[in-house]
Chains A and B, each alone.
Chain A
Amino acid sequence: MRKIIVLQLLLFTVILLAQENDNIAVGFESNSQYYMDDEKTGDFTEPNRFRSNNYLKVDYSISKFSFGVQVEGYEPMSLLNYSPGFNKTNIALYYAKYTSKKIEATAGYFYEQYGSGLILRSWEDRQLGINNALRGGRIKFFPTENITLSALYGNQRSGFDVSDASIYGFNSEVNISSMLKANSWNLDLGLSYVGRKEEKNTTDFNFNDLTNAFSGRLDFSKNNFYSSAEFVSKSDDAVIIFNEIRNVKPGSAFLFDVGYGKKGFGINANFRRIENMTFYSQRSANGNIYNENIINYIPALTKQHDYLLTNIYVYQAQPQVSFQDFELLKIGEIGGQVDLFYTLKKKTSLGGKYGTKIALNMSYWAGLSGEYDYLNFEYDSDLIRFGEKYFSDISLEIRKKWSSDWNSVFYYVNQYYNKRYVEETFGNVKTDIFVSESTYKLGAGKSLRFEAQHLWSKDDKKNWVGGTVEFNLNSKLAVYVNDIYNYGNDEDTEKIHYYNLGGSYTLGAHRFALNYGRQRGGLICIGGVCRFVPESTGVTANIILSF
């Protein structure tokens, strides 16, 4: 609390000194929950029924300089299943930055991403409890318009502290086509290096304190066609299984993407192969459930669905080496996805008066095939061969506007989810999901939205049904109620309604939301990174203020 008062005083000073040509931005976010006992899902047995995660961020800029600080408060405790490192109130981040035409220099905490993040990404996601900002220094240099060079050094944030390992990074991006004065096509080249130096505490295995990772990228486009490729190679490093070093292996990743688009039509396909590509700022953090100490970002390249029942079986990328038993052997993944978007033109027989929009996505992911030696934690992978199937997903979305105040979305998903391999538990699940959504404009800013969904499955928890009703009273105030019900569950006690009701009020950039209900336990996934949340019942409140 004292720290906050000090900070508040600082803030006032800054405001008092504020002048015409400077800019101050203040952001506050608070996510709280009051956990309640539930006769169906059980009592709340953890300490502190009321928990709250709070973030206050202040940025101040004057001419070429900017400064900022972020204070985080987890009072009296953080929400369920956040890292224990997020504890009480403290200063979490601070920085000072200088920006000019040729140079940008940062000291303190900063976020960074090289390429698609396969080699390095530090970012913040408050819902997931991820903040792996780097603390140290970074310099970016723009010698010409077509070249960017940057270098960084730092330690990675973990809780309110940083981890021991030193992180070194270098990145270069060159626009080759502009240098060659080519106008009809575009070619970008990117080269990066990331090093992590952590003292090793074993002599049994032969690897270095410093682990090196290199990445090379090319992006090409000409007219309506575009393509990109990225390759990452990670040097020999400890392979950790069951919390112990078992072997020493290199890692690699390859990502290829190709697409074509013109007005009314777009298609994109990508392919990726990854092997032993987990990369942590602390070797022992390998596979930790809080997503702490992550250096690189390996998202699942599948469609990110937006409806409740389509988010029960969510794929997570499988970059890790995992030898669970004689049959459950994983060293990476291989697969890809295709996306297609198409608009049926207005005033045609299929398009109707307003046109019809179609989106199709297909993805397929499998393990790497190869020779596996379970007893010695040894393996030798095939370059391009699909092993055990992990996941597939086909989805079709049709958006139709019937009249100026009525439109609908129809959504169908077919999924295969290899639960045994993805979650390292048992079974596999095949599902068919259908969602239908309609919105009616009632005039004067009022509107009603209905959503009905059904999931069919003969596996796992079997059939689900769900629905949502949302009423917008005006552009600022909305209320909703939704429910999903696992009516097909074999166990009568598991036939549970997960219901929620709530409302939100927005005023400019400020937002207040209140919600009551029972939350389904499972993975919350954002951008392919998932956090496990237990089942809970209670009241949640979210406050977002921005000045």
Chain B
Amino acid sequence: MKYLLFLLCILFFNVGFSQKSIPNSTLTTLEGKSVNIQDEISENKITVLSFWATWCVPCINELDAISEVYEDWQESANMELIAVSTDDSRTKKRIRPMVNGKGWPYKILLDKNQELKRALNISTIPQTYILKGSKIIYIHSGYSPGVEDEIYDVIQKNKN
């Protein structure tokens, strides 16, 4: 009971203070270059940030589904999807051939020791963020078929 009260306390007091932007964190590109995530997010477009891993089947389902309609998305709005891989060194080497083999058109960044994932308190993947400029306007965790339509709607509503 105490425990529950404690939980509720956190809920009530923090609800208005949620993370509004992506914290400063260094990721690497597929070629191994270090980049700051904040520099990768463009101020004047909509960015979809999707956290995934090569071993995560729902993540792949989501990115496969979006890749089918990605051309239409980019034509309809000034947007970009960045797929942040949370693979550690066990499966990291699978990222590049998978992205190539699937022909995914996304920008891929690597969070190899999961620093950004931890900073955003992400416990399960896939987890997807939509940002307008640098501001987080939508978060979704998990994937079920059709989530891509919901993401599309959010993009349409917020495009300039």
Contact = CB atoms under 8 A, between A and B. Distances in A.
B141 A447 contact: no
A310 to B, nearest CB: 11
B145 A341 contact: no
A259 B90 contact: no
Nearest to B57: A306
B123 to A, nearest CB: 5
B124 interface: yes
Contact of A339 (B15, B94, B139): B94
A342 B101 CA distance: 5
Nearest to A114: B113
Contacts of B159: none
Given A59-B119, A111-B115, A116 B92 contact: yes
B124 A259 contact: no
Which of B55, B90, B118 counts the most A-chain CB atoms under 10 A from its CB? Answer: B90
A243 B20 CA distance: 51
B97 to A, nearest CB: 3
Among B68, B99, B118, max chain A CB count under 10 A is at B118
Interface in B1-41: 2-3, 6-7, 9-11, 13-15, 17-21, 23-24, 31-34
Contact of B127 (A340, A475, A509): A509
B2 A1 contact: yes
Contacts of A11: 10, 13-14
Interface string A448-492: 000000000000000000000000101100100000000000000
Interface stretch (A21-29, A77-85, A277-285): A21-29
A259 B120 contact: no
Interface in A268-286: 268, 270
Given A25-B19, A261-B97, A447-B144, A99 B89 contact: no
A343 interface: yes
Q: For the complex, would chain A's binding face be called helix, strand, loop or mixed by DSSP majority?
A: strand
Nearest to A439: B145
Interface string A294-305: 000101110111
A359 B13 CA distance: 48
Interface string A19-37: 0000111111110000000
Interface string A317-360: 00000000000000000000001111100000000001001110
Contacts of A304: 54-55, 90-91
A287 to B, nearest CB: 20
In which size bucket is the chain A interface? Answer: 35 or more
Nearest to A300: B90
A123 B114 contact: yes
A265 B100 contact: yes
Contacts of A265: 100-101
A502 to B, nearest CB: 13
Interface stretch (A159-167, A232-240, A380-388, A539-547): A539-547
A15 B100 contact: no
A188 B103 CA distance: 26
B43 interface: no
A475 B150 contact: yes
A283 B104 CA distance: 46
Nearest to A343: B103
30 contacts: A23-B23, A24-B19, A25-B23, A113-B113, A116-B92, A117-B89, A123-B88, A148-B34, A221-B31, A221-B32, A261-B96, A268-B94, A268-B96, A270-B93, A297-B88, A301-B90, A304-B91, A306-B56, A339-B97, A357-B102, A359-B101, A405-B145, A409-B57, A447-B146, A506-B141, A508-B139, A510-B141, A544-B141, A547-B15, A547-B18
